[in-house]
Amino acid sequence: MDFYPLFGALLLVSFRSASAAARPHVVFILADDLGWNDVGFHGSEIRTPNLDRLSAEGVRLENYYVQPLCTPSRSQLMTGRYQIHTGMQHQIIWPCQPHCVPLGEKLLPQLMKEAGYATHMVGKWHLGMYRKDCLPTRRGFDTYFGYLLGSEDYFTHVRCSAIAARNLTRCALDLRDGEEVAAGYEGVYSTEAFGQRATSIIEKHDSDKPLFLYVALQAVHEPLQVPERYLAPYSFIADRRRRLYAGMASAMDEAVGNITLALRRRGLWDDTVLVFSTDNGGQTLGGGSNWPLRGRKWSLWEGGIRGVGFVAGPLLKRPGTVCRELVHVSDWLPTLVGLAGGSANGTKPLDGFDVWSAIRSRHRAAVTFGRAGRLRLQRVRPRRHSVLQLEAADGLPGSVPRRLKPLPLWTRTCSDVPSNAVSFFQCRL
């Protein structure tokens, strides 16, 4: 028996296993219109045992912000850039609107694929579909199953749209498998269909390759529809809309539980980072609740933009904690790409920051403010009075150590680079 070929094969297997372990599996679950007071761990009457358990075992993001609407939030998640920089700031993308995330933008799944990941998407896209180049499978995902728009019927998967100029309404099936219409799912509740497809992807995944799975659930967006069995625990809720909404949230919670169970059974959980997020605040006109926050979806009050979110998985250094650092939906692209060992080279200038150190170990992350002067403000030691160091270019001082009193929250009010380092330290961080 020739020793060298055998040794080479063993070395290759060992290298592939070590390489996969160094790059964790990433599962990102996005809820639709989930309000601050719609999860058990925020004191809601809605029962979400799986979300409660995962968040309790992980890191809850209690100072986490999103956009007040669906398309802007999703575009920031996928690009790491504010919607004002991508032209996605004008409400949502409507059914007949010839618009999508600009094709010149490099999206998160493309970067994850470049880092060696298998990339899959299940659920609601809503980032444009007027031409094939806008579709998820043309923007970095290996596979796709879900809705291209939003507000579909949960059982028939049909989306209707009024055309005022012609005084008529047109309806169409909006469920896709890849780029083809997915017939044969009528009567299957979308939350269950998406959960089942996600678990199927996990069960079939080659564990030697890192997985990026993006599950964008339809729940708990209107229309308010749910199988009767999920309503039984909520007979005490008098308001019909709230009762239906509660059942939908429970169905969503069950789907999340099934996804995590599939990861455990497949042996992937120990190397998985799971992120759960809402896309915007709850729609109080459709059963949601953001109590005690003011406002709702579509508003710029806290109820519209402060999001439910957490990170879970065995790779966290301090599980069972609460992160009160400022985290924004635009931060996920640089954070996840960095976690994957990838590079954001090739993207347009990012607005988001890599916040993994703040999430994983509760240390404040290094943050770059501005572009013209290439200034980097870095927290050197996570102590009560931390030393902040300024790395500069373009003729500014190389480092300016300075002791500052800690502030309760970081805000991005210093987005423009000042002309001198002294005025920079007068900004609220």
352-411 tens-digit pLDDT: 999 999 998 765 544 433 333 333 343 333 333 333 333 333 333 333 333 333 333 333
Q: What pLDDT shows up at residue 200?
A: 98
In the predicted model, what is the mean pLDDT of residues 128-148?
A: 97
What is the band of 198 on the pLDDT scale with cuts at 50, 70, 90? very high
Q: What pLDDT shows up at residue 170?
A: 93
Structure tokens at 163: 């055309």
Q: Which of 340, 304, 267, 303 is nearest to 28 (CA)?
A: 340
Q: Dihedral sign, CA of 45, 46, 50, 52? A: negative
Residue 245 has pLDDT above 60, yes or no: yes
What is the band of 249 on the pLDDT scale with cuts at 50, 70, 90? very high
Average pLDDT of the chain to the nearest whole number: 84
The whole-model pTM stands at: 0.83
Give the model confidence (pLDDT) of 23-72 as tens digits: 999 999 999 999 999 999 999 999 999 999 999 999 999 999 999 999 99
| Residue with the two structure tokens 């904690």 | 321
Residue 424 has pLDDT above 90, yes or no: no
**Active site amino acids:** 70, 126
d(CA 129, CA 149) in angstroms, rounded, equals: 8
Q: Is 367 in contact with 377 (CB distance < 8 Å)?
A: yes
Strands 59-61 and 321-323: what pairing?
Answer: parallel
Q: What pLDDT shows up at residue 360?
A: 85
| Residue with the two structure tokens 């979400």 | 48
d(CA 78, CA 405) in angstroms, rounded, equals: 35
What is the band of 328 on the pLDDT scale with cuts at 50, 70, 90? very high
Q: What pLDDT shows up at residue 362?
A: 61
Q: What pLDDT shows up at residue 74?
A: 97
Residue 166 has pLDDT above 70, yes or no: yes
Q: Which of 16-25, 155-164, 247-256, 396-405 has the lowest mean pLDDT?
A: 396-405
Q: What pLDDT shows up at residue 133?
A: 97
Q: Is 75 in contact with 101 (CB distance < 8 Å)?
A: yes
Q: What pLDDT shows up at residue 17?
A: 41
